[in-house]
Amino acid sequence: MPQLVFWIDVDNTLLNNDHVKEELERELRVLLGAELAGRFWELYEAVRHESGVVDIPQALARLRAETPEQRLPEVTFERARDLFEHYPFATALYPGARETLEHLSSLGLTVIVSDGDHLFQAEKIVNSHLAEAVEGRVLIYDHKERHLEETMRHYPGEHYVAIDDRLDLLAACKEQLRERLTTVFVRQGRHAEEGLRQPGHYQADRSVEAIGLLRGYRVADFLLA
């Protein structure tokens, strides 16, 4: 059997990021008020649109820069920052996420490959104990599909498996690596119904309803015919 290297996404793959965002929205509304909280999420979406990735520190910096201290005291702003930095991410893992990583590590090399800003995303991965579960093998990029060769240089293998909740990203990776890569679509989070809504959309090599179901897979299940 070939040596497998698993590239495993975080947001809405291992960790229920939609739930985290809903909780943070509620807490920000209480702390900042509806208007300022709404403005933060507008900046959040603007940054994501401009850069293609979520960048919490940049959105917070823009909110601070445009809001007078009389309206947003520094102590309140720091409390808002703390909401993100000290969120208990380990409580937001999907059922079976840690066990799935343990199982996959018995089949090959597990690597977390995530999109996002290098500060907040890194803290999320560490604080959720996901970094520990993959023995520190964590790569964070602004657009990970643009860094496949670099990822393979870091952690070489004979066959690669990309596990993600986004079909568009899996399609971009598949286009580059072809038969060297098996794509696994995890139908969780806000992208779960993409393939069903768009029949012409890219279909992953494998598809599961929940990350925990991969505990039943063996090496042969990740290989292409």
The answer to whether residues 177 and 84 belong to one domain is no
The answer to whether residues 58 and 140 belong to one domain is no
Task: Indicate the residue among 28, 63, 89 that finishes a domain.
Answer: 89
Task: Indicate the residue among 89, 118, 150 that finishes a domain.
Answer: 89
* Mean pLDDT of the chain, nearest integer: 92
pLDDT of residue 155: 97
Task: Indicate the residue among 39, 69, 89 that finishes a domain.
Answer: 89
Greater model confidence, 197 or 57: 57
The answer to whether residues 53 and 136 belong to one domain is no
The answer to whether residues 106 and 197 belong to one domain is yes
Any idea what the CATH number is for the domain that residue 161 is in?
3.40.50.1000
**Residue 1 pLDDT grade (very low, low, confident, very high; cuts 50, 70, 90):** low
The answer to whether residues 34 and 117 belong to one domain is no
Is 25's pLDDT higher than 90? yes
Note the pTM of the prediction, 2 decimals: 0.89
**Residue 52 pLDDT grade (very low, low, confident, very high; cuts 50, 70, 90):** confident
**Domain span including residue 178:** 4-16+94-222
The answer to whether residues 184 and 108 belong to one domain is yes
Mean pLDDT confidence for 118-135:
92
The answer to whether residues 47 and 154 belong to one domain is no
**Residue 216 pLDDT grade (very low, low, confident, very high; cuts 50, 70, 90):** very high
pLDDT of residue 117: 79
For the chain, the domain total comes to 2
Q: Which amino acid is at 21?
A: K
Mean pLDDT confidence for 81-85:
91
Is 125's pLDDT higher than 90? yes
The answer to whether residues 172 and 145 belong to one domain is yes
Is 194's pLDDT higher than 70? no
Greater model confidence, 193 or 214: 214
pLDDT digits (tens, 9 = 90+) for 136-191: 999 999 889 999 999 999 999 999 999 999 999 999 999 999 999 999 999 987 76
The answer to whether residues 104 and 183 belong to one domain is yes
Contacts 24+ apart (CB under 8 A), 208-212: 208/184, 210/94, 210/95, 210/96, 210/186, 211/13, 211/14, 211/94, 211/96, 211/97, 211/100, 211/163, 211/186, 212/94, 212/95, 212/96, 212/97, 212/99, 212/100
